[in-house]
Structure formats: structure tokens, C-alpha cells
Amino acid sequence: MFALVDCNNFYVSCERVFDPTLLHRPVVVLSNNDGCVIARSQEAKLLGFKIGTPAFQAESILQRHQGVMLSSNYTLYGDMSHRVMETLSMFTPEIEIYSIDESFLSLFGQKSLYEYGQRIKSTVYQWTGIPVSVGIAPTKTLAKVANKIAKKEGSGVYVLDNDKGIKLKLSTFDVEDVWGIGGQYSAMLKAHHIDTALKLSQQKDEWVLKHLTIVGLRLVHELRGESCLSLDLITQPKKAICSSKSFSRPVETFEDLSQSISEYASTAAAKLRAQSSAATLISVFISTNRFKDEPQYGKSATMKLNVPTNFTPHIIRCATSILETIFKKGYKYKKAGIILSGIVDNNHRQIDLFSNPVHLNKQDSISSTIDSVNNRFGRKSIIFASAGIHQDWQMRRAKLTPSYTTRWDELVIVKS
């Protein structure tokens, strides 16, 4: 049996742990750059906000309902996520951390699944202050279904463990809510009059394979109760690492763009080193604001390296030269980013005939020194000058809450 434990309104719940005045009010958390809504409290959902609602549209409605709008505080959410996952690990070593706010647990030998789910839920809440919902079922896909039901039907825990019950619930479960069925597929399925999870699960294998590929076929078997997706217990290194952001204002000069690319390159390179990897492909992209009625331009280019690297100065140098090839003057740029791919294990990277191993070792020791200083004293304690000092293109985060759990100078002060 699988349990899917999913935090309720995770980002909002994190904020509420440290600011109880946010309880029982509509609260939304905004995307980077305070652009659009990405998380909503129950009260905010009832007001009709969707994921992706632009912040400027939400603002006046929130004001009328004593609502609150917050910038996203990923430092806080990351730390709270870690606490939740640690708590879940106390229940079983068989845990797959699927995203920042959900985990799959493998259960065996539990007598009462429902009570076990309740225990998970109350322990996480007591230890971290984060409310969670628990769905339990024989496959991951069905556990996802059970979790949705748990969220809707009150007690926060739902068990799907017998054929009859599963069929009954699937018969009223909208096909577009099935894990793995997105907008395109659900439109196609509905055009074929397949509108519930049950109907999908009853389609012929050949038909599913033809229309939904092998991925869809697995999904359908999972809906039938046949487990095809196992637990990923070991976190695999990422195959691509991206760092990109929208600017707070239109950026027109090569200098500003190259500063931002340097900054993103440093971030991406640090992520690369954190998983002991090196990259052979560096892509850079830039684009104008697609929502604006002004000349549009967007381009990306990729450079292939003979020797894999994770050395920030090297990556910055490559990224800057790529930028030179795609930059065009006269446009108002809104977004830029870098993607590192062709990822290999840094400890087994293949060097070429002309690489100097001593030189490479020196690079590694410079990198690890920088990383350890930044880990200890904060992410930007040591920066590369090419990323600039003023950075007035930096994203907007006007309504940012404190890093309650990760900065000494931002701890909560309790008064009596």
C-alpha cells in the first residue's frame, strides 16, 4: 500500500505557522517578481482565485475581504518542507519525497490504515504546525486520487483499499483530476466521451497506448489497482539545471543582461556542484515580454563543452559569449536564463588530452571554498563581480515575510 501525504495549501500554511493573524482570512502567495497567485488559502480559493491569477487583479478583491497577499519566501518553505519530511521519515524509511509539499510512503503490516493515516496527520501537525492530508491506496495513482478525496471530504485521511470502493469513487472522479492527465489529454478524452477516471480505466490497452503513449497505459493500469510505479527511494541527480527569472523592469542593455546571466550562471553552477555533477551543455535564453504589444524577440543558443565543468567562472565566460551571439539591440527584455545539461558525475568526468589535471583540481578547491563560505554565511557572501553590485533588474518581492527559521536576525520575537 502507498500513502500520499500532501501538505494543505503549503506555502500559506508555512506563513501561518509564524503569523497567526493570517488564520481564517483569505491569503495568497505570489510567484517570483510578485507576478501572479501560486498558492491560496481555503478562504482565497472560495473567493475564486485561480493559480496564475495576476496579482493586480487579485489585489482589490483581497482588500475588500481583509485578505493578505505575500511574496513567496522559498527559504522558509524549503526549511519547513525539510521539517515535514523529517517527521514523515520517522514513520518509515520507505519514503519518496516527490515535491516540496508531498511524499509517498510505503506501508506494510499496518492493521488499521485509516488510524495510521490519522496518526501521520496529527504528528506532522503537532511537530511542525503544517496541516496535511493523507490518501492511502494500492497504487501511487490511486493514492493521489484518495488524497484528493481526503482533502475534500473532511477528516483529512481517506483509504481506497477494495475494488468496489475504488470503482465507486472513480465513477465520480473527473478525468482531468487524474494524476498524469493534463489539459490536452483531458480535452481529447472528453471529446471521446471519457469524462471520469472509471471510464478511462475501462478503455482497451491498445487504444490507450495509441492516444496516451506508454505513460498513459501505465496510468490506466494503476487506476485498475495494478501497481506499475514504484517508490523512488534514492534522490537521483538532476539531468538539467535551470536558473531563470523575470526582471522587475524592462532591460535593454547588454551589460544588464550579462549581469543577470552571470548571476543565474553562479546559481546554476552552485546547484550543479551541490549534487556533485558537471555539465557539458550550456544554454542561454532571453526574451521580451510576450504580454506587451511591442516588438517581440526571443532566442536561445547552446554551447557544447569538450570537458564537463562545474566551475563558475568558466560557466560565466561561456554563458556570456553565448549571450553575445543572441543579443539584439533595441528590444525590451523581460526574462533571461541559463540551462545546464549533459550532466555527468563530477567524480568520473572524462577530461581530454589537453586538460591539465592540476589546474582542474585547483578549480575544484576554489569552488568548494566558495560553496562552504556561502553555505555557512549566506548564499551571496561571496559573489562574482560580473553579476554586478546594483542589480536594479532584480525581481520584485515587496511583501516578503522574514526568514523565520534560517536567519538569526529574523527570528520571531515573543513578548509576554
Partner DNA sequence: TCTGGGGTCCTAGGACCC
Which three cell numbers mark 416? 509576554
Residue 196 near DNA by CB under 7 A: no
Q: How far is the CB of 115 from DNA (least distance, A)?
A: 26
Q: Which is nearer to DNA, 166 or 265 (CB)?
A: 265
Instruction: Based on the shown chain and the rule CB under 7 A, indicate whether residue 399 belongs to the binding site for DNA.
Output: no
204 touches DNA (CB under 7 A): no
Strands 27-30 and 68-70: what pairing?
parallel
Residues 59-118 that bind DNA (CB under 7 A): 98-102
Among 167, 395, 397, 400, binds DNA (CB under 7 A): 395
Residue where the block lists cell 516540496: 100
Q: Least distance to DNA from the beta carbon of 356, Å?
A: 25
Binding of residue 246 to DNA (CB under 7 A): yes
Q: Which is nearer to DNA, 87 or 260 (CB)?
A: 260
Cα–Cα distance for residue pair 287/415, rounded to 1 Å: 49
Binding of DNA at residue 386 (CB under 7 A)? no
Q: φ, ψ for residue 62 (rounded to 5)?
A: -65, -40
The C-alpha atoms of residue 146 and residue 134 are separated, in whole angstroms, by 8
Q: Which helix (H) or strand (E) holds 68?
A: strand 68-70
- Binding span for DNA by CB under 7 A among 48-56, 154-162, 196-204, 385-393: 48-56
The one-letter code for the residue type at 270 is A
Minimum gap (Å) between residue 279 Cβ and DNA: 11
Instruction: By CB under 7 A, tell whether 346 contacts DNA.
Output: no
Which range in 62-70, 212-220, 320-328, 383-391 contacts DNA by CB under 7 A? 212-220
With beta carbons less than 8 A apart as the criterion, state whether 259 and 387 touch.
Answer: yes
Residue 241 binds DNA, judged by CB under 7 A: yes
Q: What is the DSSP secondary-structure string of 176-215?
A: GGSTT--HHHHHHHHHTT--BHHHHHTS-HHHHHHHHHHH
**E strands, 82-191, in order:** 95-99, 102-106, 132-137, 157-159
Which of residues 77, 91, 173, 179 is near DNA by CB under 7 A?
179
Burial (Cβ within 10 Å: 0-12, 13-18, ≥19) of residue 52: exposed
Binding residue (CB under 7 A) for DNA from 16, 140, 169, 335: 335
Shortest Å, Cβ 343 to DNA: 8
Q: Is residue 57 helix, strand or coil?
A: helix
Among 12, 36, 68, 282, binds DNA (CB under 7 A): 36
Q: Judged by CB under 7 A, does residue 158 bind DNA?
A: no
Q: How far does CA 113 lie from the centroid of its chain?
A: 29
- What residues line the site for DNA (CB under 7 A)? 31-33, 35-36, 38, 51-52, 54-56, 98-102, 144, 178-186, 213-215, 236, 238-246, 267, 271, 289, 291-292, 304, 334-335, 337, 395
